[in-house]
Structure 1
Amino acid sequence: MPPPSVVLGVVSALAVLSASMALAQTGNAPPGVYEPKAVVQSPPLRVEVIDGTRFRDVESKEVYQLYGIDTCAPGQTARLKRQPWPCGTMATAWLVTATLNAWLACRTLRDEASEHLARCSSAGHPDIAADMVRDGIAVARLPTPEDPGVRAYAAAEQDARKAYRGLWSSTFQMPWDWRAKTDPSRAAQRGATP
């Protein structure tokens, strides 16, 4: 059995750790202590995919939308020469494959309506949105005053365009334009029109 001084030291260390974790969770630093504005990170998630950019946590039922990208809507198609293909279905399938039986970590940048606008990763995808853009499954969103563009996504899109990957091998309408044309109310709800 360890001496009482060692046990007391361990108990004290645990008390300090517990107090610092409580401060970190509440975001209230003691007076006079600088604390950077922390980005909220979710506990690891298992998700069910809603569409090409959104999924729902199976435990909490909270909805997350990938920040900085857009994909074809579920009913949208692209055309490779004379052959149409369901680019919206392909985006959803890509996201299902990337998240199936995988733990996701998401950093919420802000809440928009009833969704968390977030950047997410898994063991196989350090940045899920960037990988979607790199594979030509998604496009980088146009920058706005509220949401500056993500440089890594713009660079990944340029690489996908040059290599004619995914959408860039086909004729397609930008997702926000397609939504505005087919369902203006939904496009406005998701903020799709830049």
Structure 2
Amino acid sequence: MAQAHTPYQTIIFITFFLIFTIVAAAKPHQSPSNVERLMLEFEKEKISYLQFYFHEVIDGPNRTAVQVAAGPSTNTSVTGFGAVTMFDNPLTNGPDPMSKMVGRAQGMYAASSQQGLGFLMAMNFVFVEGKYKGSTLSVLGRNAVFFKVREMPVVGGSGLFRFARGYALGKTYKIDRIRAILEYNVFVMHY
């Protein structure tokens, strides 16, 4: 024998039925043309190689890097542990500071190692010339300063580097008490 439904159960059933019908009939917020365009971009993944030079002025009137924070023992630490430095450095196509500027490296590094000199790097390569003008690459990783070559992950990007991933190899080209010049070779996959 079938059990009779109470008016309360009937109201709940009708409410759920109406909600399901409304949700099922709703149109998605994104038009199919945008989804199709995005899928086409995914089919065209490529790898790019970039080489440029990073110029940091660490002393004098035209500094491009400045320490903005320090820990309680930073000044007595042999590694500068706890120091945080912000920078806005030119990127050029050659090691000469007068070479054509192709972008800027903007970000920060923090002395994050108590044993040996190692920085946590968080920076954006912002391109201002050529094919990649207006695009950026984001790098986040460890920079072991005394290694001949330092590898840091590329974790994202914008513009032509949307959905980027890859790695950046940094190498000291020249350093003195006023300026540091680093060579960067970047391998990045993007759409």
TM-score bin, normalised by smaller chain: under 0.3
Q: What's the TM-score once normalised by structure 1's chain length?
A: 0.24
**Between structures 1 and 2, the one with greater strand share:** 2
Instruction: Determine which structure has more spread, i.e. the larger CA radius of gyration.
Output: 2
**Between structures 1 and 2, the one with greater helix share:** 1
